[in-house]
Amino acid sequence: MASVITLAFESWKAQEAASGKAVLLNEFVFANVPNLDPTKPIDSNEKLPPANQIVHRQAVNKAGLVSENAVAYSVTLGADVGDFDFNWIGLLNKESGTVAMITHAPIQKKLKTQNGQQGNVLIRSFLLEFNGAAEETQIKTSAETWQIDFTARLTGMDEMQRLINVDNYGAAAFFNDGFEVTRSGEQFTVKKGLGYVGGLRGQLEQNQILNGLRNTKIYADFSYQGNIVSKWNTVIKITSAATLSNYVDAAGFTHQVFAIASVDASGNVKDLRPMGALNSQEISALESKLKLDLSKKADKANITHQTGNSTELFTSQQMVTAELAKKTTSWKLSTSR
């Protein structure tokens, strides 16, 4: 089957938005179009078929949010509807006659229960995706699962994998210069790369630019999004805020957030990214702490045994290295028990 969002819808949608009106799609149209090839792409200029080819019209039964940029519309053709064949389905605004989305399908039969004939029940749905779909349609409720699926089980599997990733990578983990924030004038660049936030793995494909930041933090916002008919993937947003916590959006998707940098009143950037997997982060933190403690010992040794010989300082540095190795080994043994 082939589907398309029409150019007429794009134009009409812009007009509705300009006048502050919600984008209302409220009717399904079914038609039987001769010589229709469902394998070929659909012309986005295609119109409603002529009246003599239209076999049924019915109001949208259900509409709901799938994500911030996708809404679903569904119609149920009950056993009291028929008989007709159809291969063309359209979703439109009934009042203006604007066709928003079209699907070409193989010939399908709709039978009505009558005269001893058992009718059939068909459910047809459209998933309409465009930027700002949730806001422009003003649909507030989440889409229901209109057919049996394995949503609950799959969601549980996804959550298990997320928690495993948290065990391995902690609250967040970044690699090399991925998600590093740099400044050039008033332009702040977040570099592309791989990261984990709240157990979600995400790849920032392109550098992201923010401008004119002061006294704020820059956050990586990861959410795992999809629907029953699409591939699920991690959606990444880069945003700035004084503080930001994990949240659930209007479509029901949980967003995991982490501050990757802070910007002070002068525009100076401080890197806040944890680097590498959790064990690497913990070892790095331990090394930093031990080096800080042992450097005090080294300074004291140099003052106590100051001879003016440069080898004395070298000896103290060796002491720091040896002590660090000893304590790190002891820490590894204790954690392996």
pLDDT in tens, 207-221: 999 999 999 999 999
Best-predicted range by mean pLDDT among 60-64, 154-158, 224-228? 60-64
> Which residue, 2, 3, 4, 24, is CA-closest to 13?
24
In the prediction, which pLDDT does 56 show? Answer: 95
In the prediction, which pLDDT does 303 show? Answer: 42
> Which residue, 78, 101, 70, 75, is CA-closest to 88?
101
Q: Are 74 and 21 in contact (CB under 8 A)?
A: no
> Which residue, 256, 249, 181, 248, is CA-closest to 221?
256
With residue 166 as reference, give the H or E element that holds it: helix 151-169
Helix, coil or strand: residue 12:
helix
CA distance 117 to 127: 33
Confidence of residue 262 (pLDDT cuts 50, 70, 90): very high
CA distance 31 to 29: 7
Lowest mean pLDDT among 41-50, 157-166, 241-250: 157-166
Confidence of residue 292 (pLDDT cuts 50, 70, 90): low
Confidence of residue 119 (pLDDT cuts 50, 70, 90): confident
Round the average pLDDT of the chain to a whole number and report it: 82
- For residue 64, how many C-alpha atoms fall within 13 Å in the half-sphere facing its CB? 15
Helix, strand, coil % over all residues of the chain, rounded to 5: 30, 35, 35
> Which residue, 130, 136, 133, is CA-closest to 20?
136
Confidence of residue 330 (pLDDT cuts 50, 70, 90): low
pLDDT in tens, 178-208: 999 999 999 999 999 999 999 999 999 999 9
Confidence of residue 152 (pLDDT cuts 50, 70, 90): low
For 6, phi and psi rounded to 5 degrees? -80, 155
Q: Which residue has the tokens 């503080």?
A: 243
Question: What average pLDDT does range 22-30 have in this prediction?
Answer: 91
Best-predicted range by mean pLDDT among 123-127, 128-132, 200-204, 300-304? 200-204
Please state, for a pLDDT cut of 90, what percent of the chain lies above it. 43
pLDDT at residue 153 tops 70: no
Question: What average pLDDT does range 27-48 have in this prediction?
Answer: 92
Task: For 249-295, give the DSSP string.
Answer: -TTS-EEEEEEEEEE-TT--EEE-PPBSSHHHHHHHHHHHHHHHHHH
Q: Are 13 and 20 in contact (CB under 8 A)?
A: no
Please return the burial class of 27, using the count of CB atoms within 10 Å of its CB with bins 0-12, 13-18 and 19+: buried
pLDDT at residue 327 tops 60: no
Question: What average pLDDT does range 88-115 have in this prediction?
Answer: 89
Please state, for a pLDDT cut of 70, what percent of the chain lies above it. 78
Question: What average pLDDT does range 90-100 have in this prediction?
Answer: 92
Instruction: Mark out the alpha helices in 126-249 (DSSP H runs).
Output: 133-137, 151-169
Task: For 303-333, give the DSSP string.
Answer: HHT--S-HHHHHHHHHHHHHHHHHHHHHHHH
Pairing of strands 54-59, 247-248: unpaired
pLDDT at residue 309 tops 50: no
Q: Which residue has the tokens 């006294």?
A: 215
pLDDT at residue 316 tops 60: no
CA distance 260 to 274: 8
pLDDT greater at residue 75 or residue 67: 75
Please return the burial class of 182, using the count of CB atoms within 10 Å of its CB with bins 0-12, 13-18 and 19+: middle
pLDDT at residue 308 tops 70: no
